[in-house]
Every structure is written in structure tokens, then in C-alpha cells.
Structure 1
Amino acid sequence: MSSPDPVIAAMRAEHDRLAVLVRTFDDAALAGPSGAAEWDISQVLSHLGSGAEIGRAILLAALGEGTRPEREEVEGIWQTWNDMTRRRRADGFLQAGEALVALYESLDAPTRESLRIEMGFLPAPVEVQVAARLRLSELALHAWDVRAGLDPHPTLPPATAAELLHGEPDMIGWIGRPAEGVRAVIKVTTTEPASVFALRLLDRISVDFDVPDEPDGTLTLPAEAWLRLVAGRLGPSHIPADVVATGVADLGLLRKVFPGY
């Protein structure tokens, strides 16, 4: 088991980076479009804020303080944030996001190693590193959504990409959608950090390190772009210049495989 410390540090950096930006927003900016097609910037912050509030309650329950929120309570939290004004969503995100990061940071070394957290949507309790990485992914990708409403070429920070690149490969099978009539193996090569792995487009989408000598296609791109691709955030207007695809590794096809969430 590797240490959760780098993941928690990356979460802190992501929160602080977004918080600096959010503090500059006036009401017009909060009402502006984001990278999430159906949400304005305040709604993205609402999602992050409610997620932080729920995540903190889940972590506290694992520590023996209170109970894990059940579905009805979670829906109530979502509704409360939906009913907020745009300004209150922004302020609430700053408070709830900080509280969650601070709680992770407060865990001592033995707790970081031994604690298991019942997330409610996974088949078994998970280690601190896994729970923290799930929050890091949510925070980083939605922070990208916020920036995409303001910057034509936003990217994920290299430190974040390094922590998320090979975190939970089984998640690929959850978010990927098999393409009808396509059975192929793509060699994926990333930079920052450098990695080489196989993307298998079969009945279940998966990744592994058993790369064939003659793949059906190749995809070379920054690690942060790979992460955005599998999260449905590598649209035609957000493709780095150094993305190279050959063979079956067509970006249009891969966007169908990874429609986003």
C-alpha cells in the first residue's frame, strides 16, 4: 500500500488554486458558462461544495464521529445547494472544500494507514488513499470545468495528473462504453508523467500494462489530456497540439467510448 500523503497534498493544491480564482469572481462571472454544458460556474461550485460536505460527513463517520449520510440525506444536501444563490454557492464551496481538505490533513500517520472508509457506492470500504483520490479527481476535473469557461486552453496540473494517471484503473470499466463493432487494443503513451499502457476496447473497457507489439492503434498525448479524454473533457476545442493518434485510435471514436460524467 502506497502512502496517501501525495494525494492529500495534491488535493490541497487543487483546492487552493481554485479558491484563489473563485475569490475573484463577481456575480456576472458566477453566472457565466463553464466546461460543463448544462451548468454555469456557480453550479459547478455547488456540485463541488455539496460533494465536499457529503465527503466530510463520510470521513467523519469512518472516524467514529456521526453516521454516514444515507441517500435521503444526500439528496437533501444537494437540494439545499441547488436552492442557494450563486454567491452563496461560491462562498459555500470555499468553506466546505477547505473543511474537507483540512480534515484529511488532520489524519495522523497511523490513521492514514489503517482507516477504511465506507463510501456508499463501492462494494467494500476503501483506504484513505482511494477516498482521497476520488475527491481529487472530482475536484480537479470540475476545477477544469470552471477554468474552461474563462480560458480556451485549460489543463490539469502535472502533479494532479501524476496522482490520477494510474490511480484506480478499474474505474475505466465503469465509465467507458464499449463501441459497437469495435474490438481493439490501443497503445497509449503519455508524458508528464511518462507512461506506456494498453487501452482495451472490448466488451468491457480496461487498461493494463501488457502492451502488444502490434496494437490496432496508438495514442500519444500528455497525461492530463488522457485524463480529460476519459472524463469526456477532450473536445475539439480543447486538444493540445502534441496529441497524435493513429489507426483505430480515432478521437471521435474515443469520445463515444468515454462520453463523460
Structure 2
Amino acid sequence: MSNADTVIVAIRSGYERLADLVKKFDDETLAGPSAATEWDIAQVLSHLGSGAEIMTNTLQLAVDGQPPAAGDFNQTVWARWDSSSRREQADGFLEWNDKFLAQLESLTEDQRDNLRIEFSWLPAPIDIAHFARMRLNELTYHSWDVRSAADPEATLDAAAVPEMLQTDADLSWVSKPAELNGQTAVLTVTTTDPSKEFTLRLADPVSLEATPAAEPDGTLTLPAESWLRLSAGRLAADRTPKSVELTGPISLDTLRKVFAGY
């Protein structure tokens, strides 16, 4: 399978896992808290559903050779979802994710390889693999936000983790270097499932390098899914596997503050 194919398969796997739960949720569950602290479960589903609607429209415009939607399109979609009932939000999540996945899966091999999609906030159009990975990241983290509310042992979807693990990702928008209080450190990060080794530079800005540092100040060893949750503000002390090991001048609590979540 091409790179786009594997990402689309991972989206399907993660969506079906969450959808199976959502179909069983009663109104009380939908009103309950999620791990996204400012949202109840229905609001997380609303976010994922509105996102699926927007991405369906974005992809269709690209397929049709049309420019991106006008600037107020997203605001209109969000306003409609925000005004919906919790049950409507849950049902809409299922409806629009079904539509979006069917649309993605219907793309031809040529489209998966060569179609490019424009976003006004990106410097250049992106390919389907990149576009699908954006959705995979959002779905995977927010699926965990929903599932972990009832399951303290919940982890990110296994099929998504290899596709999300980018050892040269831009951390500038998800990190708060001020929480280092002037400290700096270079850590070698070693992950399992999959196995990767890369460098985390804790400074201003916080950054990653795809190769391990020659003389690090410490090491961070953990499952790849735990690294992804840490960098997305989802590795609280009570959600941290015992296998996580950190050496050096920076504490795990400090790392949690640097990666406070979004």
C-alpha cells in the first residue's frame, strides 16, 4: 500500500473503534466529562463531526479542481454544530465520519498519489497522505479523550501510532518553553512499538531532531504511544505506564508542563 493507503486504513480502524462505543452511548454518557477538560463527550464528538464535514468539503473541492471554501464556511459549520443537541452531535459524528471515510476510500490510485489540497494557512498544497494524517492525528487524540474517560488504561489506537510518530515534527506550537524556567536540556528519546531514537531539545523553541544527539544530558525511554500522548498533553501521572523512564536534569512533571496539551 502507498503511504496514503496506510493512513486511510488507520483512520478506518480508529473510527470504527470509537463509533462502536458512540452507538451505545446514552444521553447521560454524552453529557459526561471527557479527557479534554473543557468539553463533555458530546462536544468532543461535535468537534470530530464538524471536522469531518469541513474536510469532506475541502477534499471534494480539490477533486473538482475548485479553490478552497470561503473564509466563513468553517465558522458556519461550527456554529450549526455548537447549536445542536448532544444526541444530534453524536449522530452527526457518525454520519459525517462515514461520509468522509467513504470519500477518502473512493479516491483512485492516481488521486492518492497526485491530488493536492490547498489550505489558506499552509504555504503550499499538500498531498493526500499529509491530508489524511492531519485527520488521523485529530481523530486518534480525541478518540482517546472519549475512551479514556471510562478506561484509565486506554491507549492510542495501535494502527495510528506508526503513522503519527514523526521524529522531526514541529513542536513550536504545542510546547511552552517558558515552563522550563530557564533550564535547557538535550534528551535522547527512545521509543518502542515502533522502535525509534531521536533527540528532544528543550530550549526556546523546543524542537526535535530525527537523529540521536552525540552527548545528551539525559534519556527518555517510553512506548511510542506514550510519547505521542506526552507531546499532546495527555500523559498525566495517573495515565503514565510504569515502563516510562527519564534520566537527566528535567523531571517528567516539567515535561508535562512544557507539553500542556491543546
Q: From the superposition, tell whether residues 239 and 12 of structure 1 become closer, same or farther in structure 2 (CA, over 3 Å).
A: same
Q: Structure 2 matches for 1:1-261, cutoff 5 A?
A: 3-64=3-64, 67-166=67-166, 169-178=168-177, 179-261=180-262
Per-residue deviation, residues 216-258 of structure 1 (Å, max 9, x unmatched): 1211111101101111111111111111111134211112221
The aligned amino acid for 1:170 is A
The aligned amino acid for 2:189 is V
2:152 match: secondary structure = coil
Aligned equivalents of 1:249, 1:120: Cα separation in 2? 38
The aligned amino acid for 1:207 is L
Q: CA RMSD in A?
A: 1.5
Aligned equivalents of 1:90, 1:65: Cα separation in 2? 32
The aligned amino acid for 2:43 is Q
Aligned equivalents of 1:187, 1:71: Cα separation in 2? 42
TM-score by structure 1 length? 0.94
Unaligned runs of 5+ in 1: none
The aligned amino acid for 1:188 is V
1:103 match: secondary structure = helix
Identical-residue share of aligned pairs (%) = 48
Q: From the superposition, tell whether residues 34 and 199 of structure 1 become closer, same or farther in structure 2 (CA, over 3 Å).
A: same
Aligned equivalents of 2:217, 2:109: Cα separation in 1? 45
- Contact 2:13/2:159, CA 8 A, preserved across alignment: no
Aligned equivalents of 2:208, 2:238: Cα separation in 1? 26
Per-residue deviation, residues 76-100 of structure 1 (Å, max 9, x unmatched): 1111111111100000000101111
Q: 1:148 Cα deviation (Å)? A: 1.6
Dislocated runs of 4+, deviation >3 Å? none
Q: 1:202 Cα deviation (Å)? A: 2.4
Per-residue deviation, residues 125-163 of structure 1 (Å, max 9, x unmatched): 111111100100000000000012111121012221111
Aligned equivalents of 1:70, 1:240: Cα separation in 2? 45
- Contact 1:177/1:258, CA 8 A, preserved across alignment: yes
2:171 match: secondary structure = helix
The aligned amino acid for 1:134 is M
Q: 1:31 Cα deviation (Å)? A: 0.6
Pick which of 26-35 and 170-179 moved more: 170-179
- Between Structure 1 and Structure 2, how many residues are aligned? 259
Q: 1:65 Cα deviation (Å)? A: 6.2
2:186 match: secondary structure = strand
Q: From the superposition, tell whether residues 65 and 24 of structure 1 become closer, same or farther in structure 2 (CA, over 3 Å).
A: farther
The aligned amino acid for 1:227 is L
Q: 1:120 Cα deviation (Å)? A: 2.8
The aligned amino acid for 1:243 is V
